[in-house]
Each structure stands twice: as structure tokens, then as C-alpha cells.
Amino acid sequence: MYASKIRLLTLTALFAALIFLLTAYLHIPSANGYTHIGDAFVYLAGALLPPGYAAAAGAIGAALADLMTGYAFWAPASILIKALTACLFTAKASKILNWRNLLALVPSFVLCVGGYYLYEALWMHNFVAPLAGIPGYCTQVVLSSIVYAAVGGALDHLHIKSRLHLEWRKQS
């Protein structure tokens, strides 16, 4: 019981760190912030961890990246958007890449693009200027989806879910 909780907390912290690193240090500046592939690991967290843990990893990693790179304005939106994004994926399947998780990329796209656009538009009371950020958000989700599929496929090939003994699939 405790070993399972410790494993979950450790994996959550690992994913939060990976999301932070890939967001904060491997990004391309864009019109309203930056474009990154950290979302790929938000998706992976959602495909490997129970929803609450995956949401925490996404929210913590993304918010820390925003805070540490001078984009603190975006941190509240990132907390909500990345937590919700992680919950779109399921860890209950035996594989990371399954139809449900691949289909989850569609609402992830809408949530990221629409969420950040709406956050900025409501904050600025301007629904036109934030349109400039949409191409960057689209690029971010597409690149993250490709990385998710590549890494998820490799991890599935290595049977990572069974090797990590992810028992919570049976308990949840």
C-alpha cells in the first residue's frame, strides 16, 4: 500500500520536473509567450498516472515553468489548463497509445488553444489582440502530440506499464 503511494508520488514529481524542464528550457519564443513540447509529458502523465496525480504533475510543472521564465502572467491559466488536459487521458488502459488517448489529443488541442486565448482575451478585455498567439498554441499542441506518440510508442514497446508495476490501474 505505502510502496504504491510512494511510487505514485515519485512518478508525479518526476513528471512535474520533466514538464518544467521541457517547458522552461526547451522553448521557442512566440507572439504571446513561448511554444514548447512540455505538453507531451502532460499527456504521458495522464496516460500513466491516476487523474489527480497526473493533474498535479501538469499543473506544477507548467506553473513553475511560467514563474521561472518570466511569464508569471500565464501561471494561473497553465495550472487550470494543464490539470484539465492531463485528466483527458486514461491510465486504465494497458498501453499508453490507445484509441482513447489518441482521441484525447483533439480536446487537448481545443483546451490549450481556446483556454489560453480566452484567458488572455478576458484579462485584457480585448478579443482581437490575443488572436496573434493562436498559431503558437497550435504549433505547441501539434509538436507535443508528435512527441507524445513517439515517446508513448517507445514506452509501450518497452512494456513500461507492466515493468513499473502500476497497480493503481486495478485499484482505481
* Whole-prediction pTM: 0.93
Residue closest to 116 by CA, chosen among 2, 35, 57: 35
pLDDT in tens, 94-138: 999 999 999 999 999 999 999 999 999 999 999 999 999 999 999
Q: What is the pLDDT of residue 164?
A: 77
Q: What is the pLDDT of residue 1?
A: 66
* Total number of domains constituting the chain: 1
**DSSP 8-state assignment for residue 108:** H
Chain centre distance of CA 17: 12
Q: What is the CATH number of the domain that holds 122?
A: 1.10.1760.20
**Ranges of the chain whose pLDDT falls below 70:** 1, 31-32, 165-172
- Sequence letter at residue 150: A
Answer whether 84's CB lies under 8 Å from 77's CB: no
Q: What is the pLDDT of residue 2?
A: 81
Q: What is the pLDDT of residue 166?
A: 62
Q: What is the pLDDT of residue 4?
A: 84
Q: Return left, alpha or beta for 95; rule: phi > 0 is left, psi -120 to 50 is alpha, else beta.
A: beta
Domain extent at residue 157: 2-171
Q: What is the pLDDT of residue 171?
A: 47
% the chain with pLDDT above 70: 94
